[in-house]
């Protein structure tokens, strides 16, 4: 048997999704194949210089990080400089995907369907910010979704039904980000679709997300508190709607230049899917959406982790079906 590979498991970090990252990392630690991999944990908040020192002896960084400084290209840049291979997308794709304004420009350019929006920058809007926000709301129609450009896990996001509630929603976004996206509200069922692979991309089985009663949308607590959302996999969709969503998830992954893995969120309006966003390092607990899709495809959590690592380390791209249990 070949020698064990040395994996640096990066978890923690300083984004708003630190707790989510610790949960992802903890479960990866518990489930990774110990016969094949040696694992050491590093928290980017305190261990970067250690990681730099150890990099020559490490085979790969497994990034169990989400949001700022994890999913946004910065840690990817660090790994590039350290000469340390890492799972998932590179610097540019990560940086583009985390910014909802940039990502939507890329999707539009590629002819992919997205909701209409207007972006308000707190620097340029100056004193006329409130007026500009009201004009945006008039143009997009109520309700509007107000979201920060560079967060995840629904942090800072709200649905605004009347102009009176706009300024509180904008204050919330501006406490996190320099710019806010006001987006047309899409009424419809919500889906998410994972894509894995490098040259051979595979769309995994789609999940429908149904937030529990009392949640207006897939908010933070619906995402992470047990029982606060129902996640149906494979989703109950017509063959053509499922094919559309799978095709668009692969197209979004490719348009952004993603690598290894991604998960794209959708809302289906009257049979037409619209892309909300692409996550380049989605949640990775055993019960998270992407591992759940992989499980429906036929992969245990352990073999899914091995596949993501082998995608980077094997000289020839491994076949996903080889990892089925
Ligand atoms: N335009 C929209 N119309 C309806 N619901 C939306 C819209 N945008 C976001 N949402 C809801 O908010 C959630 C989070 O939005 P998303 O854009 O995916 O940002 P995040 O990066 O925080 O996950 C979605 O899963 C969905 O439930
Ligand atoms: Mg999302």
List ligand 1's pocket residues with C-beta within 6 A: 115, 145, 147, 151-154, 157, 183-186, 190, 217-218, 265, 267, 276-277
Q: What is the tens place of the pLDDT at every residue in 91-124?
A: 999 999 999 999 999 999 999 999 999 999 888 6
- The rounded Å distance from CA 44 to ligand 1 centre is 28
Q: What is the tens place of the pLDDT at every residue in 147-195?
A: 999 887 888 999 999 888 888 899 899 998 899 999 999 999 999 999 9
Asked about 224 being catalytic, the answer comes back as yes
Q: What is the tens place of the pLDDT at every residue in 281-293?
A: 999 999 999 999 9
Asked about 247 being catalytic, the answer comes back as no
- The rounded Å distance from CA 267 to ligand 2 centre is 11
Between the CA of residue 273 and those of 32, 60, 252, 262, what are the distances in Å? 35, 36, 13, 17
Asked about 197 being catalytic, the answer comes back as no
Nearest residue CA, atom 13 of ligand 1? 218
Asked about 288 being catalytic, the answer comes back as no
Helix count and strand count (H, E) for the chain: 12, 13
Q: Out of 279, 286, 288, 303, pick the active-site residue.
A: 279
Domains annotated on the chain, with CATH: 5-87 (3.40.50.20), 97-113+187-323 (3.30.470.20), 117-184 (3.30.1490.20)
- Whose tokens are 């897939």? That residue is 218
Q: Out of 42, 107, 220, 224, pick the active-site residue.
A: 224
135 pLDDT tier (thresholds 50, 70, 90): confident
Per-residue tokens: 287: 């019960």
For the whole model, what pTM was predicted? 0.95
Q: What is the tens place of the pLDDT at every residue in 40-51?
A: 999 999 999 999
Q: What is the tens place of the pLDDT at every residue in 194-250?
A: 999 999 999 999 999 999 988 888 888 888 888 889 999 999 999 999 999 999 999
Instruction: Say what the alpha-carbon torsion angle 88, 90, 95, 100 is, to the nearest 10 degrees.
Output: -50
Between the CA of residue 168 and those of 148, 153, 156, 195, 274, what are the distances in Å? 13, 20, 11, 36, 27
1 pLDDT tier (thresholds 50, 70, 90): low
pLDDT for position 127: 64
pLDDT for position 126: 61
Per-residue tokens: 137: 């709301």
């Amino acid at each position: 048997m070949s020698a064990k590979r040395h994996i640096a498991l990066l978890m923690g970090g300083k984004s708003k999704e630190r707790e989510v990252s610790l949960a992802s990392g903890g479960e990866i630690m518990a489930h990774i194949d110990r016969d094949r991999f040696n694992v050491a944990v590093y928290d980017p908040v305190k261990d970067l210089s250690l990681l730099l020192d150890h990099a020559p002896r490490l085979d790969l960084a497994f990034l169990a990080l989400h949001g700022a400084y994890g999913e946004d290209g910065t840690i990817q840049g660090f790994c590039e400089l350290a000469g340390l291979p890492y799972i998932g997308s590179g610097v540019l794709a990560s940086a583009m995907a985390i910014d909802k304004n940039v990502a939507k420009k890329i999707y539009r350019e590629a002819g992919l369907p997205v909701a209409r929006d207007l972006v308000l920058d707190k620097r340029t809007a100056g004193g006329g910010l409130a007026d500009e926000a009201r004009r945006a709301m008039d143009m997009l129609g109520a309700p509007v979704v107000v979201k920060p450009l560079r967060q995840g896990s629904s942090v800072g996001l709200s649905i605004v039904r009347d102009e009176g509630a706009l300024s509180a929603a904008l204050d919330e976004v501006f406490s996190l980000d320099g710019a806010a996206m006001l987006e047309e509200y899409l009424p419809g069922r919500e889906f998410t679709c994972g894509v894995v692979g490098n040259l051979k991309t595979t769309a995994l089985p789609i999940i429908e997300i149904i937030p529990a009663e009392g949640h207006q949308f897939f908010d933070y607590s619906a995402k992470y508190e047990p029982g606060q959302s129902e996640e149906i996999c494979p989703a109950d969709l017509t063959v053509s709607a499922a094919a559309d969503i799978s095709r668009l998830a692969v197209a979004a992954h490719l348009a952004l230049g993603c690598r290894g893995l991604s998960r794209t969120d959708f809302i289906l309006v009257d049979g037409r899917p619209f892309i909300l966003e692409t996550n380049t390092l989605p949640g990775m607990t055993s019960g998270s959406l992407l591992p759940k899709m992989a499980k429906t495809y036929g992969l245990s959590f352990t073999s899914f982790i091995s596949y993501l690592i082998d995608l980077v380390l094997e000289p020839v791209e491994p076949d996903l079906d080889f990892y089925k249990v």
